[in-house]
Chains A and B, each alone.
Chain A
Amino acid sequence: MLEIRNINKTYGNGVAALRNVSLDIPAGMFGLLGPNGAGKSSLMRTIATLQDPDSGTITFDGIDVVSEKDRVRRTLGYLPQDFGVYPKVSAHDMLDHFAVLKGFVQRGERKDVVEGLLRKVNLWEVRKRKLGTFSGGMRQRFGIAQALIGNPRLVIVDEPTAGLDPEERNRFLNLLAEIGEQVVVILSTHIVEDVADLCQRMAIISQGQVLMSGEPREALDTMRQRVWSKVVPKAALPEYQARFTVLSTRLIAGQPRIHVYNDAAPEPGFESIDPDLEDVYFHRLRQQFAGRPVSA
């Protein structure tokens, strides 16, 4: 459905945000993983018609996203990473306003859409409340409601779960999962679990480059029997980092537990563990910046 071919974007200050990015994204949930500043948002904005690439093409369902912005916008639902609201406007009025701007100019039709969506995201009870009084989760649900107006075939959600408590996060992901069947849903996040839980396909992006793309399961398979774990003394940590490809270091009861990528057991005391998506993620990042420690 969505084809991204060789897109490049360099900002005025010399930062190369996207470097020769190519991706094929079919219908369904697609996870875009990457650390802060990796270029996820740049990619999302580019797909969402908010900025033009310096070169490369993006095609969605036969529509050239760069030159036929208006056509894309008619089928786009976008939830940016960080968005505000007019604090003094009620949820209903604001959603109604968005509905008009999304093309629902007939009052009756619009009423159905707005009410349906408010119910869908469970804001019906609070539809008359001012948006300024909404909690982070409610606001995020409002965000998804506006993104879903008009049954978009391309939905882009950028870091939607950041700052949500676990319950709200679950609720939100369920909502996403529900819509992500016939349409393209791109979910960008730096939280590996979000992708692991939801996405049929994914890509890892860092420093503007695609490090991998494919199905999470395949990626996990390639790592199987190659991830090892051990609790090490704090003092010895630098030594391990120098000697092995340390994927992550996590404190367990005050002692660092490290994950190491290696074809065989690196040394006695390491136990083999089932890789999770996080290990995949860090492995790809390690490959990109060999030797630079990263802690999760």
Chain B
Amino acid sequence: MSVSSSTLSRSALDRQNEQGRTRLFAEFFRFDLRYQLRSPLLWVAAMLFALFAFGATSSDAIQIGGAIGNVNRNAPGVIVNLFANFSVLGLFVVTFFIAQPLLRDFEMGTDELFFSTPMRPRSYLAGRLAAGMLASIAIFVFTSAGMMLGGVMPWLDPARLGPFSLSPHVWSFAVIVIPNLIFMASLLSLLAVTARSLLSVYLGVIGFFVLWLVASLLARDIKYDSIATLLDPFGTRALERTMRYWSAIESNSQLPELTGYLLVNRVTWVAVSVVLLLLAFLVFKPQRRRAGKPRSKRDSINTLSASRSMTSGVSAAARLPGARFTSTTASSQFLHQLLFDTSGVLRSIPFLVLLGFAILNLAAGSTFVDDLFGTSIYPVTAVMLRVIQGSYSFLLILIVGFYAGELVWRERTARLSELTDTLPVPNWLPVMSKIGALAAVVIVFMVIGVATAIVMQLLRGYTQLELGLFLRGVAIQAVPFILMGAAAVVLQVVSNNKIVGYLLYVILIVLQIALPPLHLEHNLYNFAGAPETPYSDMNGYGHFIAGWAWFQLYWTLFTAMLVIIGAAFWVRGVSPSWRGRLRMARNNLRGAPAAMLAATLLAFVGVGGWIFYNTNVINEYLPSNVALDRLAHYEKAYRQFKDVPQPRITDVKADVDIYPAERRVEIRGRYQLVNRSAEPISDLHLTLDPRVRFKDLQLAAAELVSDDALVGYRLYRLRQPLQPGASAEFTFTIERAERGFTSDGLPPSSGAGDMRSVLNYNGTFFNSMGMFPHFGYNEGVQIVDRNERRKRGLGDVPRMATLEDQAARQNMGFPDADWITFETTVSTSDDQIALAPGYLQREWQQNGRRYFHYKMDQPMLPFFCYLSARWEVRRDTWNGLPVEVYFDAKHPYNVDRMIDGTKKSLDYFSRNFSPYQHRQMRILEFPGYARFAQSFANTVPYSEVIGFIADLRKPEKVDYVFYVTAHEVAHQWWAHQVIGAGMQGQGMLTESLSQYSAMMVMEKEYGREKMRKFLKYELDRYLRGRGGELVEELPLMRVEDQPYIHYQKGSLIFYRLRDEIGEQNLNRALANFLRDKAFERPPFTTTMELLDYIRVETPPEKQGLLDEMFAKIILYDNKVTAAKSVKRADGKYDVTFDVSTAKVEVDGLGKEAARPVDDWMDVAVFARAPGDAEDKERVLFLEKQRVTPQTKQITVVVEEEPYEVGLDPYNKLIDRIPDDNRKAVN
């Protein structure tokens, strides 16, 4: 009886407690929510996010989310991406709203008031957490509203807006925003209850964020893909993986499916969050932790003895000296204060934490920099400097901003200012020493970065240490941060309010970032802005450093003025009103400061004027939108002349004088022109890059009708029209000279193959397209971006001629020439070698210059190049023909691979395709202002940054140096022997065939295993490429200028074709094609003709497949869904696996239609020792089997215990989820 009554009363008590707890929770929640909603910071953050979201949806100035090309601005995929980005960004804001309430009482000292009440700590924690969550969600509701509002702005192009739908927003909240908030809240509360200070929580968050960045950096390589998607607590990687191959239509119409990686990721992290949260609740103890250590016994003894001696009088102390003030006192004091503040920063925890993360980030970043096909490069100093810039020094923007506030307020925060303000130091001293301290911190930080980079170099066995270059490099990087630090100090001093000071600093950064996208690109008004200073091992900092130095001098002078003015605002003692401060500043500025200010202003204006003269008078300042306007003007005005017959250049003779030290080239050229058309030509449309100047020009009896200097277009009318078949001569003298410097340093690259700085002190490289005059309309410079076109009223992107357009077969893609004869004399300074296509006839010296006379012995493409540099030369021979590599002394690593690759390529191609048409092969290194190799007749310029520094010491890596070399050598056949008409499919004839040829050479050298590795990257790049298509994806044989198709898809298709019909047959088709089409005159060949040759060699049952590969876009979705094996009595194994197959045909915009599967696919069973990697596997069974929709299960018998089975395990078919083609046997 008594027992039951006691249980009764206990449960009644419990119930009461339960209610009390709920009430308490509700009270904490209510109170805190009200507190949060009243906090201006919440609304500021919400408005900021909303504004940012609005900007991202309604303008091009902010580009996140991936609304490009045909993807709508409000496409579901874009909205989801935006939310994912904002969600990660939100971490920094949310920290405040979630951690601050938990810590508020500890920070404000109200904790003892709260925790002495009989409340439950868990209700307290839960209530505040819930309120914080709700407040954070409010921020994202505003973000959502910002996006929606941005999507209905009247200035938006209606063609880029889909119908409005709420579901992407709801989906994003449910799948991304809220789970991420739950994760952040749990992480933050755990941090908050353990660290108990907002600063530590922020440090923890920064730490977490950097770890996250490092992890995503480490996981950049394809092979870590699946693990990376799971490890990312924000789900962005999983989202990216789900959406990475999406076409425009998919982005516009669908939301990611909540399955697979995304689902696993979300579930995992919600579970992790729950655990973290539970931990936080367990750890949370409301008791105050005593600050400081208990005082030791010794201390109390000291105090005692102190009191004794004190009462007994202290007169024993000797008379102390007084201070003497001399002219150097102030500077000594300055130095001392500077060191004192510097060591304060260097020893402070936030700095050390940031430094630690920066070092970690640098170490991680330097491990994977510039990987290509998973192969890394040598960590040369120039590359390490780039990594320091990209993943290390940017943290200084945070450090100088934060510590500017800390240092300026250091004395006041420590309540020391009343003391320090009365010290006999000049007014400028505090401000100057704090700026000096920030500069010192920047320098220390940079030196540590260099040390880290050197350690990384040594760890990777690289010992060519270039300390001097490191120091120069980090000095260049340090300057803007020092200027930013000085500006941040001035902002703090003048605003005289820490928060306002920080806010102004953030505004300064936002301005720096936001001005260029608004086409305010000149560095004269972008604080601390200067031209880029790309470093090349060949050319050093070259001519870039001068412009940089002038701009930094300009900004240093500007900052000096700021500092002089700022120092006058430095408040000593009680801060007067604003009017009082202005008066004070005016007083402080009198005398010497005013004189200094005037002198600095004078220098500033002078330097600014000199810069303006350089960038805007002798050079042209061209914001990117104006540059595009010009291209638009060119197209509008002159595209009408596209098909007007022009004479053909049949012979080129040129004397080219390169003056590397002056960055000048002068060309005296002579073209032989022939009218190959059927009608007389009287109008000559002459185009010359506007940066090149005609010094002289002779065209028999022609008058200049119009001259459009902005785009370099001239119209000449011949008094006597050039009759069909008649020829004429055109002689000209042109000059291009780079004088002074520009605001941007490097002009923006127009894309692949665009060398951004052609005239250099060491490493001049230009080609005939950019430097020589041409006839006719140049389609190459048309704007391709649809949106830029639409803005300029240009209509749809002009497309290449279709395969069916017979008229287009008259051209090989050059408007004014086909096969030409070529002879040139090129001169350069006496320390350099100058090269051009052709064979060296004679070399001589004259007037302190070196001359080289080159002559080509047979017709070649009308596309030639000139290079001049100080090179080392390595010479070898192939069948008696010279094979040479001209390389920089710093880059000897892979020269032998290049020679080997060249020789093996020449072997394979001449044996399987046709003889090599030239008597030499040369590879020429050029500065890394572009990343490509390019094949001219018997001459291949090759960028220093692709291949020359590839680290090929590990044999399991893909040797892309060998591969790229083979590709370029293959162009001597595919382009230089046979070239397609300038129409759809030309890229397949030059690039895809070169890809195929190079793959064959590589496979012979390295085996099929390596090819799989290589093709995996090609597949990924193809699938990503089609997702980023701006216009329309085309089938391979109709490829326009679409690298992801003619390179990557070309590799995949030709490799599969080889697999389907055999290497012999395919090579025979190519050889026959070459035999019939090499060096042909117009009409030029097409992919249709090539396919005819291939068709002949293809068995009848695979003719349909040819159509699918070349004329359609086909994607597969094959997978093994289950696999098991049973050991038989005879010791063999029955392996049975369930498969699922699908095949779709996709149209140019990504719309998919199902097609029945009827293909021959690899069916395979593999064995692998436990713990071995995939490249150690052994094939137990491999056979091509016909797979149809009826194929649901496959059974094979193998001799050994199987590890894994596969359907198309080598990914020869284009499959968006290649990894599920294999499955381990249960």
Contact surface of A with B, Cβ cutoff 8 Å: 12, 45, 48-52, 70, 73-74, 76, 78-80, 82-88, 97-98, 100-105, 109, 112-113, 116-117, 119-123, 125-126, 129, 132-133, 135, 137-138, 143, 146, 149-151, 167-168, 170-171, 174-175, 178
How many Å lie between the Cα of A126 and that of B299 in the bound state?
A: 8
Contact indicator A122/B310 (Cβ below 8 Å): yes
B422 in the interface, Cβ–Cβ < 8 Å?
yes
B1104 in the interface, Cβ–Cβ < 8 Å?
no
Contact indicator B323/A45 (Cβ below 8 Å): no
Q: Given A101-B425, A174-B310, decide whether A84 and B415 contact each other with a Cβ distance below 8 A.
A: yes
Contact indicator A45/B574 (Cβ below 8 Å): yes
CB distance from A142 to the nearest CB of B (A): 11
How many Å lie between the Cα of A109 and that of B322 in the bound state?
A: 9
Contact indicator A101/B333 (Cβ below 8 Å): yes
Instruction: Find the residue from A88, A103, A126, A150 having the highest chain B CB count within 10 A.
Output: A103
**Chain A residues, Cβ within 8 Å of B419:** 78-80, 83, 98, 143, 146
Contact indicator B418/A101 (Cβ below 8 Å): no
CB distance from A70 to the nearest CB of B (A): 6
Contact indicator A74/B424 (Cβ below 8 Å): yes
How many Å lie between the Cα of A100 and that of B337 in the bound state?
A: 8
Nearest-CB residue, chain B, relative to A86: B414
CB contact list, B931-971 vs A, under 8 A:
none
CB distance from B513 to the nearest CB of A (A): 35
Nearest-CB residue, chain B, relative to A119: B317
CB distance from B295 to the nearest CB of A (A): 8
Contact indicator A102/B423 (Cβ below 8 Å): yes
**Chain A residues, Cβ within 8 Å of B574:** 45, 50-51
CB contact list, B259-310 vs A, under 8 A:
292-293, 295, 299, 302-303, 305-307, 309-310
B340 in the interface, Cβ–Cβ < 8 Å?
yes
Contact of B323 among A103, A126, A171 (CB under 8 A): A103
Contact indicator A101/B423 (Cβ below 8 Å): yes
B573 in the interface, Cβ–Cβ < 8 Å?
yes
Given A45-B573, A151-B320, 7 more A-B residue pairs with CB atoms under 8 Å apart are: A51-B573, A70-B426, A73-B425, A78-B418, A98-B423, A103-B324, A103-B333
**Chain A residues, Cβ within 8 Å of B415:** 82-84
B329 in the interface, Cβ–Cβ < 8 Å?
yes
CB distance from A258 to the nearest CB of B (A): 36
B315 in the interface, Cβ–Cβ < 8 Å?
yes
CB distance from A86 to the nearest CB of B (A): 5
How many Å lie between the Cα of A83 and that of B421 in the bound state?
A: 12
Nearest-CB residue, chain A, relative to B348: A88
Contact indicator B309/A122 (Cβ below 8 Å): yes
Contact indicator A48/B314 (Cβ below 8 Å): no
The 5 closest A-B pairs by CB, nearest first: A50-B573, A84-B415, A103-B323, A105-B332, A80-B418
28 A-B residue pairs with Cβ-Cβ distance under 8 Å, sorted by A, are A50-B574, A70-B426, A73-B423, A73-B425, A80-B418, A80-B419, A83-B418, A97-B337, A100-B336, A100-B337, A101-B423, A102-B424, A103-B323, A103-B324, A103-B329, A104-B323, A105-B332, A113-B320, A116-B317, A116-B320, A120-B314, A122-B314, A133-B292, A168-B307, A171-B307, A174-B314, A175-B310, A178-B315
Nearest-CB residue, chain B, relative to A82: B415
Contact of A86 among B306, B309, B344 (CB under 8 A): B344
Contact of A78 among B306, B323, B325, B422 (CB under 8 A): B422
**Chain B residues, Cβ within 8 Å of A98:** 419, 423
How many Å lie between the Cα of A167 and that of B304 in the bound state?
A: 10
Contact indicator B307/A103 (Cβ below 8 Å): no
CB distance from B768 to the nearest CB of A (A): 68
CB distance from B1215 to the nearest CB of A (A): 61
CB distance from B191 to the nearest CB of A (A): 23
How many Å lie between the Cα of A45 and that of B572 in the bound state?
A: 11
CB distance from A241 to the nearest CB of B (A): 36
Contact indicator A178/B314 (Cβ below 8 Å): yes
How many Å lie between the Cα of A83 and that of B414 in the bound state?
A: 8
Contact of A88 among B340, B347, B425, B576 (CB under 8 A): B347
**Chain A residues, Cβ within 8 Å of B325:** 74, 103
CB contact list, B555-579 vs A, under 8 A:
572-574, 576-577
B720 in the interface, Cβ–Cβ < 8 Å?
no
Nearest-CB residue, chain B, relative to A99: B323
Nearest-CB residue, chain B, relative to A122: B306
Contact indicator B303/A135 (Cβ below 8 Å): yes
B117 in the interface, Cβ–Cβ < 8 Å?
no
Contact indicator A150/B305 (Cβ below 8 Å): no
Contact indicator A49/B322 (Cβ below 8 Å): no
Contact indicator A117/B416 (Cβ below 8 Å): no
How many Å lie between the Cα of A151 and that of B305 in the bound state?
A: 26
CB contact list, B414-469 vs A, under 8 A:
414-416, 418-426
CB distance from B574 to the nearest CB of A (A): 4
How many Å lie between the Cα of A135 and that of B292 in the bound state?
A: 12
Contact indicator B333/A105 (Cβ below 8 Å): yes
Q: Given A83-B418, A84-B414, A85-B416, decide whether A70 and B424 contact each other with a Cβ distance below 8 A.
A: yes
**Chain A residues, Cβ within 8 Å of B418:** 45, 48, 50, 78, 80, 83
Q: Given A49-B573, A122-B309, A126-B302, decide whether A101 and B420 contact each other with a Cβ distance below 8 A.
A: yes
Nearest-CB residue, chain B, relative to A113: B320
B163 in the interface, Cβ–Cβ < 8 Å?
no
How many Å lie between the Cα of A171 and that of B420 in the bound state?
A: 25
Contact indicator B424/A73 (Cβ below 8 Å): yes
B793 in the interface, Cβ–Cβ < 8 Å?
no
Instruction: Find the residue from B295, B305, B333, B424 having the highest chain A CB count within 10 A.
Output: B424
